[in-house]
Amino acid sequence: MKLGVIGDTHRNYKYIDKAIDYLKECELILHTGDNFQDSKYINKITGVDTIGIRGNCDFENVEDEIVFDVKGYRIFLCHGHKYDIKYSLRSIKRRALELNVDIVIFGHSHIPLNYKEDNILFLNPGSTALPRGNSDRQFVIINIGDEVNVQDIIL
């Protein structure tokens, strides 16, 4: 299964639109928050099922974290601000262990991360709008089959 993961888009439609060609080929799109309305926009333009969550800059009355299964992998999607991910992965890892997940997808730092520890994949797609930490404007595509493969898409 092909998943698009994008976040911290902050209503920067110029770069969201550049990502659309890649995202419309996905079977599911995940938006890590900041700006939740962008997840609706992406869904409308691509026609692909999109799961978005609330970030620290969002005010909609929607979930701020979701756990779901894809092809036998349990995924935890959140923005990350409630787990202080800018400073450490300790809190989000503790939550991942509580939830018994295989993959943690989050945003907030605007810095891409693809890191595996204790058989848990921690994945931050970075930001298409406001990249930080000398990173590029980017998002990721995840291919889930027998293995999980992550591809960075630089805009």
Q: What is the pTM of this model?
A: 0.97
Q: What pLDDT was estimated at residue 25?
A: 97
Rounded to the nearest integer, the mean pLDDT of the chain is 97
For residue 111, give both structure tokens: 């810095």
The correct answer on CATH 3.60.21.10 for the domain covering 2-154 is: yes
Instruction: Give 136's Cβ-side CA count (13 Å radius).
Output: 7
Q: What pLDDT was estimated at residue 101?
A: 98
Rounded Cα gap, residues 137 and 29, in angstroms: 17
CA distances from 85 to 44, 88, 93 (A): 30, 5, 10
Residue keyed to tokens 């969550």? 53
Count of residues making up the chain: 155
Q: What pLDDT was estimated at residue 95?
A: 98
Q: What pLDDT was estimated at residue 32?
A: 98
Please name which of 121, 79, 83, 85 lies closest in space to residue 103, comparing C-alpha atoms.
121
Exposure class string for 54-73: b at 16+ Cβ within 10 A, else e: bbeebeeeeebbeeeebeee
Each domain of the chain, given as residue ranges in start order, spans 2-154
Low-confidence ranges of the chain (pLDDT < 50): none
Q: What pLDDT was estimated at residue 19?
A: 98
Rounded Cα gap, residues 31 and 39, in angstroms: 6
Q: What pLDDT was estimated at residue 70?
A: 97
